[in-house]
Structure 1
Amino acid sequence: MTALIKILKTIKPPLRWVPEQRDFTTEFLHSKSKDPNGPSYEDLTEGPESVLQEAQRILGRCLPPNETGTSETGLVVGYVQSGKTLSFETVIALARDNGYGMVIVLAGTKNNLLDQSEERLRKDFGIEDGGDHWYHLHNPTTSVRNQVESRLAAWLKKPTKKALLVTVLKHGGHLEKLATVLKTVNLAAVPCLIIDDESDQASLNTKAARIKAGLAAITDVSTTYKSILKLRAVLPHHSYLQYTATPQANLLLAQTDFLNPDFAELVTPGHAYTGGKAFFLGDRNLIVDIPSRQVPTPAQPLTSPPKTLLEALRSFLLVAAHHSLTREKGLKAKDRNRSMMVHPAIATTSHKQYKGWLDKALKTLKTMMEKLHENNPASAEAVFKVEYESLVKTFPTIRPMSELVAELIDEVFDELNVVEVNGTKDAEKKVNWKAARYWILVGGAKLDRGYTVEGLCTTYMPRPLGTSPAADTLQQRARFFGYKAPFLGLCRVYVQASVQTAFTEYIEHEEFVRGALAANRGQPLTHWRRDFILTELLKPTRPNVIGLGIRRIPVNGWLVPSVMQRDDDAAAANRTLLSSVVPKWTKTYGSPVNAATVLNGATSSPHDVIEAVPLRAVLEDFLLDVQVRDAQDAEEHSAMLIALSSMLAKDALLKVDVFLMNRLQTGYRTRVAGHGVAASHRFAPINQYFSQSAGTLNDRDHCFADRISLQLRKFDLGTHQREPSQADIKNVTWFALNVPSKLRKALLIEERN
């Protein structure tokens, strides 16, 4: 233990504190090591990438329990089906051992995900057995206010008493109720931890685009986002951990200052994990193409089951038979299930159709196999010949065909359930994996993000990409990832060719993201975003990487922040940045010249220009460091950064002409004031950014047609029009960027409900 603490104290950047493994964490990890499907205790606790040490790193970057009156936000990134739940369970256990009195888990946006998380937490933490460490509340309302107060009061008197674990649906109404309850309880001395599972879904503000630029307070925000802010506001001492496998929105595109991470950490999967690289960059025999003619469309409905669906069913039956022959027996046997997932579309009518096809096919197949096996065993084996030969190629030790066919008839057909998993009244409300060994699950959205399918080995997913494919959403359909190394060769994924291509491209992007995060673990967003933007391998501009619902941000022509700074700290930082960057560029790239000498048609100009500053320098020295605090401006600024980095990746020699407006002498603009406008908008000029210049060109025309142009200027702001002497905000930095049409870009930014 002493050696481990010494190692943790050497991590760079340093942890804020070192959480210690104590009784409850040890008990929890021992319990997980005894789970039929769990890793050993040594695998959980030993080595720098063990679950325990990564959890200590994560919690060690959160607030120490003895610090009060502040908060911290962290981003934790794993792969799909890679052990993120085990990671945050271990973080919660450490928090309990080290003095956190309350843990809140935002456990998904659907009830089936909340139920799944609750069931696991209650089981793993001993709550359902009446353990001594936790008191659990589900979706609290004001009716349990007294329980919350009394439980926390008891914990404050004696921290060895039960801490409070709250699980809540990530839904505005439930979060509001929880915030209302906690607002009435004195939490000043209660360190709290919030775990936001699947944090890129629903948590972020989706309505920034609807805020009128600088003309109103930030009131038009999405419901769940607003409720999370309210919840955080009533917790005087807390840390907020955003867990996700698809962090694109958290990293770049849905950034609002309130949920920006102060640090990022990674969840490293164990050696048995098989993710996208194993399936799409490894043995291509694991992927089977579904021809487009076998995918039903409104114009081309199918009247009979597609051939590949029946092939997938036969492949699954052979895998189930092999499992039945080789599985461990007994109540505590490991790896007890094998399953098949069919994900045809969102519409539940398609689920019913596919389930009907499967039910009929199984009934027919069972009857036929029983007759053939009794009268002509060779003919029975011939039914599965193609699928068996395919499985032998990737899993040579599969049992002989004769044994598999016999086991199908004797065991598998009788141990197989086919169910719908969706919101219809006939659907399976909760899959009881212990009730049967073999399952076929048919569904759509409920089989997406966060849902665990036990022992999944065969996936049939004819669902197409759609017109605006979202790779992070597509990635969340990959329930077939997971800890499958021992039987990877028995797995099959049936998808259309376009979906296979999209997965392959996404994996390349995902590996880049993780590499960038690994190189900057523990550092704030403002530090590691620099690498993320500037690395030439960056590929998030593809539409299929960004966004479920989308809105278009054109990076073409003039981009001018409307509000930008919002607060005095940002204004001061931008003032310092401007005062340092211009002398640096002047020294490195040449002294400014009058704009009239280089612009066609200009006879005079009050503005100067530093010509041909490398785009990389403009990004590194200014655009990545300038403080853009307004929600809409920040989103558009991020889009601009991504577009510029993409341009730079294609042409490393791109140049920018930097115009020093009014030679950086301070101008004057009337600012927004009165009429109920919030103080946070006091930095917004009410007049247009561009003004008329001397000569034949106005400010808007100070740019070049074939190169990127950056305008820098300074304003004094006041509430009186045309009265600079009345300015009450001094020396405000502003900029505008022009992208010529030949370098045109457009970013598709996610709009989630």
Structure 2
Amino acid sequence: MTDAYPDDRIDNFADMVGAWVAGGQSLDSVRSYLRITKTPDDLIELAIARFEMRMSDINGVEVVVDPEGDHTAWYAGPKAADRFWPPVKAALQQRLPAGAVTDVDKVTSLTLSKLHAPGTAQFSDRGLVLGYVQSGKTTNFMALAAKAADAGYKLIVVLSGVTDSLRDQTQERVDEVLVGDSADWFPLTKRGDDFAHSTGARALFTKFNGALIAVVKKNPARLRRLRDWMTGAGKIAMEHAPLLLIDDEADQASINVGDAARASTINALLRDILKHPRSAYVAYTATPFANLLIDPRNESDLYPRDLIVSMPKPAGYFGPERLFGNIDLPDDAGLDMIRTIPAGEAVSARPPAGLGAVNTWNPVLGSELRRSILWFILSTAAKRQRNGNGQHSTMLIHTSMLSEAHFRTRDIVSAALDAIRVGIATDDVGVINELHEVWVAESTRVPASRFDHASLEWDDLLPALRGTADDIDIVVDNYKSRDRLSYASITPTTAIVIGGNTLSRGLTLEGLTASYFVRSASAYDTLLQMGRWFGYRSGYEDLCRIWMTDELRRWFRDLSRVEQEIRDEIARYRREGLSPLELGVRIRLHPDLAITEASKMQNAVNASLSYSGRNPQTTVFRRHDSERLDRNIRAAKHLLETIQRHGGAVEEFAAGGSLNQLLRGFRDVPAEYILRFLAEYEFDEDQREMTRELLSTYIRDELKNGSLEKWRAVVMEGPSGEKIELPGVGQVGTVVRSRIANTDDDIANIRILTSAEDRVAGIDWESDETPPKGADLLVERSKRHPKEGILRLYLIDRTSAPKAGSQTRAALDAAGIVTGISVDFPESSTPDQSIGYVIAAVPGAEDVEEAEAASAADDADEKELDDTDEA
């Protein structure tokens, strides 16, 4: 407490300050009012200081806002007198670790504080919260809704997917966690009943002393009803009901895919709803590609012009880096949980192309599909032995977007499961031995001790197999199926679920343990959303397995880099104080995948690649091609020889990790030498985003603008290994880069050549400086060397072995020294500098099942609403 006033009195006045600011008052007007009421000046200033201190306490999350906008800081976090947030927080504390609840509290307070205060005379906010696939976005937006209601937002609308199953799942979560039995909420929807309200909005907006909430499917019929119900209240009544519109899976259906003259139906309806005089729109998605490509110049559209929030990665979250490796660590290939489906089996698991071909297709049970079913039985039995029978367990089979294919796949899976059940029940030696072999092989590849769980022996598991196998249901979940996946029963669900898009958009697969996945995709967002295995696996982390093709594994590995780069961009722009309208997040292009559907990219500036601020590096090599390996090391030697012959003097550069370690190389290397080297170096055919043509074209374009005229060439060196004599440099030790195991025998994919620490090399540092890390290092590099490129040469030991005990890495075993190169580009001298790039064409409506399901749901909802009106 202070000398003059007790803390509780200051707190009470700080609460009043917060309430007035939320009502649209400025701090100056609050000061004036309190002085009129004869409140002492020192108490006023103490209260305002405490309010501002609370504001500072909610910072610390990556968020990009307009620093020069008209936004006034107003929300300082929850208060003791709040009605809506405390019960939600209590419910979350029973479900989540304390740290996770703290993170949700912090992120949602910050998000709300960057929207306009609900008492502001008029506002129309647009925001985006970037989460992770299956990471708790629903929990996050429920917390945001509760706090918004406490702050004075009257009408909360949650948009939830395009299917009834997803809307019902969201409604169930909202009812359970957010609404509960509170009389402070007025639910406008319920499970099984989408929005069809007939109660007058005017009375609810002006007389109900609480908040209204609706969970609405992204469906034209429902959105028209919502819009008309709201506007029917009249402008004055609407001004009494500030609107928060939360768009879950915001890159689905909400994006305008119409032509220049006319917006698509759902997008146009959302814009109509957001004409509400006091409205805030917050999009939630883990795949923001389409949202970041909306035209920011169109103020009525949904581009997140006011704020972009990057949620921190939750503790215990299984994301791409856990399964596919950390992009900054060359030796990290992820957990050994992914199993390869041979190309032949993958082809037979998918129906043939062509109209109606699925109707004559007869799938066969591949050996890996059978193995995945056996593992699901074993892993579920292990979960039960370890944690009891009170938890859900699910297997996902995702082979096609076509609903008929799901039913035909169910038939062969059902037959296989029945035969396995009989074999277990009759102690058939063949089936029991097969199960035993799978258990021994898999339980040793990812040991339980890796996650501090006790190991289970075969004899412990065997008695539980029969009951487990008998409990498994086979469920087809698509818009045509009657028996849909549900976790609502008191009895835990144990199911093999076969489906398509209904399983890849928002729907949570509880206790997902085994996944068999051959569904092809041609866009980033589609592929990432299919990754239902991302999420939380507490208590059975070691038991998760995924079967997929090598191609899909490579794509997911590539997308882990794309995803991290977007988050790094947001972090950097936040530090530089840029607004979302200046953000222009660069999305790395991929040779085989489009960013999103072509119709969602119509406002993209270009479909090209820029190396500005990037670090392209060679990661794929033909390890048995001795002639190519020899040509590449000769190209590296020729470059160094040329530099030395024309007067270049070898110099020393600080290496990553310790400034006492020095590397050798050259400064002030002319660009023509680098271009000549690139002309001699042979890139692998699979290194399609880093080719001689792309690199050379970009460098020449930069030279026209006075950049990249001078380079630094640094020879990276390992602590041991084979010694190589290089012109002008002398002997250097080779570096170790093992290859990813279980991939094409001839192709060595090392995944990462340049570690995060390696990027220190080539930058000038003072002897007493400690180089920064992560995105801060990139910022510093651009400041110190704004127009210089850095070429790093790696001579990789031909025998490079993985770390002891690694199951995900294999020895390189190359026919010769492998020469890798890494190019560090500064920020481009022309922000729009880019080079043309060929990417896969994406049809406008790739997701046939989703489109059919949405159309069928729309027809059904139109009829239901018509029938309601007639009644």
The yes-or-no answer on 1:400 pairing with 2:457 is: yes
Partner of 2:220: 172
Of 522, 525, 544, 2:593 maps to 544
Residues in 2 aligned to 1:366 and 1:424: alpha-carbon distance in whole angstroms: 28
Partner of 2:247: 196
Residues in 1 aligned to 2:107 and 2:194: alpha-carbon distance in whole angstroms: 34
One-letter identity of the residue aligned with 2:496: I
Q: Are the equivalent residues in 2 in contact too, given 1:320–1:412 (CA < 8 A)?
A: yes
Aligned with 2:526: secondary structure? helix
Q: Are the equivalent residues in 1 in contact too, given 2:363–2:412 (CA < 8 A)?
A: no
Task: Return the offset for 1:4.
Answer: 5.0
Judged with a 3 Å threshold, the aligned counterparts in structure 2 of structure 1 residues 29 and 556 are, in CA distance, closer, same or farther, namely: closer
* Alpha-carbon displacement from aligned partner over 1:700-750 (angstroms, at most 9, x marks no partner): xxxxxxxxxxxxxxxxxxxxxxxxxxxxxxxxxxxxx9x99x954467688
Residues in 2 aligned to 1:268 and 1:315: alpha-carbon distance in whole angstroms: 33
Of 442, 455, 459, 2:498 maps to 442
Judged with a 3 Å threshold, the aligned counterparts in structure 2 of structure 1 residues 648 and 166 are, in CA distance, closer, same or farther, namely: farther
Judged with a 3 Å threshold, the aligned counterparts in structure 2 of structure 1 residues 84 and 545 are, in CA distance, closer, same or farther, namely: farther
Of 471, 477, 488, 1:415 maps to 471
The yes-or-no answer on 1:17 pairing with 2:74 is: yes
Q: Are the equivalent residues in 1 in contact too, given 2:93–2:101 (CA < 8 A)?
A: no
Residues in 2 aligned to 1:500 and 1:450: alpha-carbon distance in whole angstroms: 22
Residues in 1 aligned to 2:291 and 2:303: alpha-carbon distance in whole angstroms: 7
Residues in 1 aligned to 2:537 and 2:407: alpha-carbon distance in whole angstroms: 29
The yes-or-no answer on 1:64 pairing with 2:114 is: no
Q: Are the equivalent residues in 2 in contact too, given 1:433–1:454 (CA < 8 A)?
A: no
Partner of 1:385: 437
The yes-or-no answer on 1:651 pairing with 2:698 is: yes
* Alpha-carbon displacement from aligned partner over 1:307-349 (angstroms, at most 9, x marks no partner): 11110011111110011112147xxx6xx11110111101122
Partner of 1:39: 96
Q: Are the equivalent residues in 1 in contact too, given 2:129–2:309 (CA < 8 A)?
A: yes
One-letter identity of the residue aligned with 1:405: L
Partner of 1:277: 321
* Alpha-carbon displacement from aligned partner over 1:185-220 (angstroms, at most 9, x marks no partner): 121122210001111111111123xx3xxxxxx4x2
- Where in structure 1 are there 5+ consecutive unaligned residues? 156-160, 212-217, 558-613, 615-641, 659-736
Partner of 1:458: 514
Of 523, 527, 547, 1:494 maps to 547
Q: Are the equivalent residues in 2 in contact too, given 1:420–1:441 (CA < 8 A)?
A: yes
- In the superposition, the TM-score normalised over structure 1's length comes to 0.67
Residues in 1 aligned to 2:89 and 2:174: alpha-carbon distance in whole angstroms: 13
Q: Are the equivalent residues in 1 in contact too, given 2:697–2:835 (CA < 8 A)?
A: no
Task: Return the offset for 1:251.
Answer: 1.2
**1:626-645 correspondence runs (5 A):** none
The yes-or-no answer on 1:318 pairing with 2:372 is: no
Aligned with 1:372: secondary structure? coil
**1:196-595 correspondence runs (5 A):** 196-208=247-259, 211=260, 218=261, 220-233=262-275, 235-252=276-293, 256-257=298-299, 258-261=301-304, 262-281=306-325, 282-283=333-334, 285-295=336-346, 296=348, 297-298=351-352, 303-328=363-388, 336-372=391-427, 380-396=432-448, 397-409=454-466, 411-428=467-484, 430-432=486-488, 434-465=490-521, 469-484=522-537, 486-521=539-574, 524-529=579-584, 532-533=585-586, 539-540=588-589, 542=591, 544-549=593-598
One-letter identity of the residue aligned with 2:121: T
One-letter identity of the residue aligned with 1:260: Y
Judged with a 3 Å threshold, the aligned counterparts in structure 2 of structure 1 residues 9 and 78 are, in CA distance, closer, same or farther, namely: closer
Partner of 1:730: none
Aligned with 1:103: secondary structure? strand
Judged with a 3 Å threshold, the aligned counterparts in structure 2 of structure 1 residues 405 and 526 are, in CA distance, closer, same or farther, namely: same
Q: Are the equivalent residues in 1 in contact too, given 2:398–2:519 (CA < 8 A)?
A: yes
Judged with a 3 Å threshold, the aligned counterparts in structure 2 of structure 1 residues 203 and 10 are, in CA distance, closer, same or farther, namely: closer
Residues in 2 aligned to 1:164 and 1:482: alpha-carbon distance in whole angstroms: 31
Judged with a 3 Å threshold, the aligned counterparts in structure 2 of structure 1 residues 496 and 379 are, in CA distance, closer, same or farther, namely: closer
Q: Are the equivalent residues in 1 in contact too, given 2:195–2:216 (CA < 8 A)?
A: no
- In the superposition, the TM-score normalised over structure 2's length comes to 0.58
Q: Are the equivalent residues in 1 in contact too, given 2:439–2:458 (CA < 8 A)?
A: no
Choose 20-29 or 646-655, whichever is displaced more: 646-655
Residues in 2 aligned to 1:390 and 1:523: alpha-carbon distance in whole angstroms: 49
Q: Are the equivalent residues in 1 in contact too, given 2:160–2:217 (CA < 8 A)?
A: yes
Aligned with 1:153: secondary structure? helix
Task: Return the offset for 1:554.
Answer: 11
Judged with a 3 Å threshold, the aligned counterparts in structure 2 of structure 1 residues 318 and 648 are, in CA distance, closer, same or farther, namely: same
Task: Return the offset for 1:477.
Answer: 0.4
Task: Return the offset for 1:520.
Answer: 3.1
Aligned with 1:264: secondary structure? strand
One-letter identity of the residue aligned with 1:383: L
* Alpha-carbon displacement from aligned partner over 1:227-270 (angstroms, at most 9, x marks no partner): 1011111x110110011100111113565442111210012232
* Alpha-carbon displacement from aligned partner over 1:354-389 (angstroms, at most 9, x marks no partner): 21122111211111112117xx6x972443313432
Judged with a 3 Å threshold, the aligned counterparts in structure 2 of structure 1 residues 76 and 147 are, in CA distance, closer, same or farther, namely: same
Residues in 2 aligned to 1:555 and 1:549: alpha-carbon distance in whole angstroms: 12
Task: Return the offset for 1:445.
Answer: 1.2
Aligned with 2:238: secondary structure? coil
The yes-or-no answer on 1:74 pairing with 2:117 is: no
* Alpha-carbon displacement from aligned partner over 1:116-136 (angstroms, at most 9, x marks no partner): 111110111244xx3222111
One-letter identity of the residue aligned with 2:461: L
One-letter identity of the residue aligned with 1:435: T
Residues in 1 aligned to 2:110 and 2:836: alpha-carbon distance in whole angstroms: 42
Judged with a 3 Å threshold, the aligned counterparts in structure 2 of structure 1 residues 39 and 649 are, in CA distance, closer, same or farther, namely: farther
One-letter identity of the residue aligned with 1:78: G
Number of aligned positions between the proteins: 546
* Alpha-carbon displacement from aligned partner over 1:660-708 (angstroms, at most 9, x marks no partner): xxxxxxxxxxxxxxxxxxxxxxxxxxxxxxxxxxxxxxxxxxxxxxxxx
One-letter identity of the residue aligned with 2:465: L
Aligned with 2:199: secondary structure? helix
Task: Return the offset for 1:146.
Answer: 3.4
Q: Are the equivalent residues in 2 in contact too, given 1:345–1:351 (CA < 8 A)?
A: yes
One-letter identity of the residue aligned with 1:517: I
Choose 2-11 or 426-435, whichever is displaced more: 2-11
Q: Are the equivalent residues in 2 in contact too, given 1:286–1:493 (CA < 8 A)?
A: yes
**1:661-700 correspondence runs (5 A):** none
Of 192, 207, 222, 1:154 maps to 207
Aligned with 1:71: secondary structure? strand
Partner of 1:26: 86
Residues in 1 aligned to 2:59 and 2:363: alpha-carbon distance in whole angstroms: 65
The yes-or-no answer on 1:8 pairing with 2:58 is: yes
- Where in structure 2 are there 5+ consecutive unaligned residues? 1-10, 12-49, 326-332, 449-453, 609-670, 672-688, 706-829, 846-850, 852-871
* Alpha-carbon displacement from aligned partner over 1:481-500 (angstroms, at most 9, x marks no partner): 00125422211111111111
Task: Return the offset for 1:17.
Answer: 2.2
Aligned with 1:540: secondary structure? coil
Residues in 1 aligned to 2:476 and 2:386: alpha-carbon distance in whole angstroms: 28
CA RMSD of aligned residues (A): 3.4
Partner of 1:131: 182
Task: Return the offset for 1:105.
Answer: 0.8
One-letter identity of the residue aligned with 1:18: Y
* Alpha-carbon displacement from aligned partner over 1:269-316 (angstroms, at most 9, x marks no partner): 321100111111243521111112113242896553111111001111
One-letter identity of the residue aligned with 2:440: Y
Task: Return the offset for 1:151.
Answer: 2.1
